[in-house]
Amino acid sequence: MLVSRTEAPVRQQTVNNLRNAIVEGRFKPGERLLERELCNLTGVSRTSIRESLRQLEAEGLIKVIPNKGPVVATVSVNEARDLYEIRQVSEGLACRLFAERAESSAVEALAKTVELLEKATSEGDMKNVMDTKNAFYEIILEGCGNALIRLFINSLHARIAVLRSMSLSHQGRALESLSEIKCILEAIQRRDPSAAWDACVNHVNKAQSVAVQALRDTDNMKSSK
């Protein structure tokens, strides 16, 4: 998690490193985030840590609790359902617009990303799967021609990142997700906006079902202890 002093700005690197640590499960939901420990892990000042924590709080990844300080945010089943319902509509629209507006070069880049996703899935590299799926969505958001949707979905993905990781880690879900992504690509390659919408909505619905069930299983395990 150490931050480099020679690449991107220190603050942005710190935010990215802490965000990735939360998404990848290094910091668990409900876990306290102590400034001193984060300074030791990242090698940056308390000022940089505090600025980064404020950014992650704005993204919904952490919450500041009185007399306790910042903790990794937890997501309830109802909150997860709400997030996925918003994701369904916003990503569906982005895919519809991409099918209508994207340059041929963007569609080709999307196809190459799906090839990389298939390789990462076959290798069982879940971090690479997540990174490649993020690249897939970034191409769609770049090519859909609507800057406001891009800003909104990027913010939404930050809040839903942990749930996406939970969903993909479920047995068999990565292969199912790959198949659904291929359906989105095929609809886009046909320049069929309605089919692109339908394929994306189906993909998000499936992800929602798995993520919600994973949250319920976690809640049941906690209540049985």
Q: What is the mean pLDDT of the chain?
A: 89
Please say whether the beta carbons of 35 and 50 come within 8 A.
Answer: yes
CATH of the domain at 133: 1.20.120.530
Question: How high is the pLDDT of residue 225?
Answer: 58
List the structure tokens of 48.
Answer: 């940089």
Q: Could you tell me how far CA 33 lies from the centroid of its own chain?
A: 21
* Tens digits of residue pLDDT in 57-77: 988 889 999 988 999 988 889
116 found inside a domain? yes
Number of H helices, E strands in the chain: 9, 2
Whether residue 184 sits in one domain with residue 111: yes
Q: 95 and 57 share a domain?
A: no
95 & 201 share domain: yes
The count of structural domains within the chain is: 2
59 and 83 belong to one structural domain = no
Place of tokens 């704005």: 58
Same domain, 157 and 106: yes
* 5 within domain boundaries: no
pTM: 0.81
Please indicate, yes or no, if residue 190 is contained in any of the structural domains.
yes
For 23-48, the pLDDT digits (tens) are 777 888 889 999 999 999 999 999 99
Domain membership of residue 117 (yes or no) is yes
Instruction: Identify the domain containing residue 22 by its residue range.
Output: 10-72
Joined tokens for residue 171: 């047995």
Q: Where are the alpha helices (DSSP H) in the chain?
A: 10-23, 35-42, 46-58, 77-101, 104-123, 126-143, 147-169, 173-189, 193-224
Other C-beta atoms within 10 Å of 131: how many? 15
Q: CATH number, domain at 33? A: 1.10.10.10
**CB neighbour list of residue 199: distance below 8 Å, 6 or more residues apart:** 95, 180, 183, 184, 186, 187
Q: Are residues 57 and 94 in the same domain?
A: no
Please report whether residue 3 resides in a domain.
no
Q: Is the dihedral of CA 214, 203, 109, 122 positive or negative?
A: positive
* 3 state SS of 65: strand
Task: Looking at the structure, tell me whether residues 103 and 206 fall in a common domain.
Answer: yes
Regarding whether 82 and 52 lie in a shared domain, the answer is no
Report d(CA 65, CA 32) in Å as an integer: 10
The pLDDT of residue 182 is: 98
Which amino acid makes up residue 81?
R
Domain match, 175 and 214 both? yes
